[in-house]
Structure 1
């Protein structure tokens, strides 16, 4: 199983079947399943730098050496895709329009969702609402990690499983205890995500973490 950090994937070139599309800028993931749902790609001059969303299901075999993500899409398909403002929260209706445009299978059509979880369904009763489970890796970077008895550090990066596109671990900077020290933390340890104050609650104590590090 090959794993990569999110930061190492930022800047990868995304290549359509007929030309280059642009560069990966960030990722959107479902924080219930901790699986990447979209690559956010900043296009070049041909689309005036417009940002587009590409599902990992559109990817072909990555060229890790040359840092290229080939996709089974044409530039025409991407140019004519629904315009999504990546600076705003993405609505379920916008996701449905993307899936219909690219003829990707809807998440909800597989029952448990494309990557697990609720997913996107054509019959969703509130299609105009935003998807509360969809977050940007850029936005979550910097979130504080709260143990059961205190703050331990901040999210610095994520580790991605290239086979499933799941975020297997968070990389947490704990410089307040040990300058320059980082740890990896499984999302399974997270008990609550507090969007209002940009923090994650975990089920470990500060002593348990220090003991595991020998601090």
Structure 2
């Protein structure tokens, strides 16, 4: 099933013992373009704690009620490793979270979710000593190969073709099978708002200047404009699903 990233940020998170909070952002890695964490606003019951949950901890999406059911109770989340506010998420932090919750180490191996190809938590077959050694090795090996990026920050990035500007990012289409960003949706420059929406496969991205907010894709402008356009975001989803 495909969902917009901006739609998911309207979803509430349900622990096994009640409502936990609301998703207010998503983080993805800039290598495989896969959602790695949901940032949960837990201020109503757990102030002053930054809560990150991996899709590995999701049990079910309730589309009708816009809720994500997770595998943990509130006490489990309350005692999770600290993730300092207003700081980048370090490999050490990710290792602590993965160890605490039992998540797959997605950075280990070439598959989308590490040793598994889905965000599940079947990781107990590896001995503790072997896991520790592999963690330490891969933390150093992969330290500079990827960074986590905020979906909220990526919206409105400028998109450039090989010979000129194309438009701006308006949303990201996510598959909840692997939580991969399947398409980037852009609005073509100079066209009426809400019309002339186009999709881009992340595989066509050549480079991203994350500091300046520029995305460079492997298309010539005239070539890109020949692709199918959509009037609404709903039309985009219908075409993707269909």
| Pairwise TM-score range, normalised by the shorter structure | 0.7 to 0.9
Unaligned runs of 5+ in 1: none
User: Does the aligned pair in 2 maintain the 1:60–1:72 contact within 8 Å?
Assistant: yes
Pairs within 5 Å for 1:51-200? 51-109=50-108, 111-112=109-110, 115=113, 122-123=135-136, 124=138, 126=140, 132-176=146-190, 178-180=191-193, 181-200=196-215
1:9: Cα distance to partner? 1.1
Q: Give the total of aligned pairs.
A: 208
Distance 1:106 1:211, change over 3 A: closer
Shift of 1:51: 3.0
What value does the CA root-mean-square deviation take over the aligned residues? 2.3
TM-score, structure 2 length as denominator?
Answer: 0.79
What CA deviation, in whole Å up to 9, does each residue of 1:113-134 have, x standing for no partner? 55259xxx6214549x688421
Deviation per CA, 1:25-48: give whole Å up to 9, x if none: 110001211110011111132111
TM-score (norm: length of structure 1) = 0.88
What 5-or-longer segments of structure 2 have no aligned partner? 116-133, 230-242
1:204 correspondence with 2:210: no
On the 8 A contact 1:15/1:22 being kept in 2, the answer is: yes
How far apart are the structure 2 equivalents of 1:158 and 1:83? 29
Tell me the SS of whatever aligns to 1:34.
coil
CA distance in 1, matches of 2:40, 2:213: 25
* Runs of 4+ with >6 A deviation: none
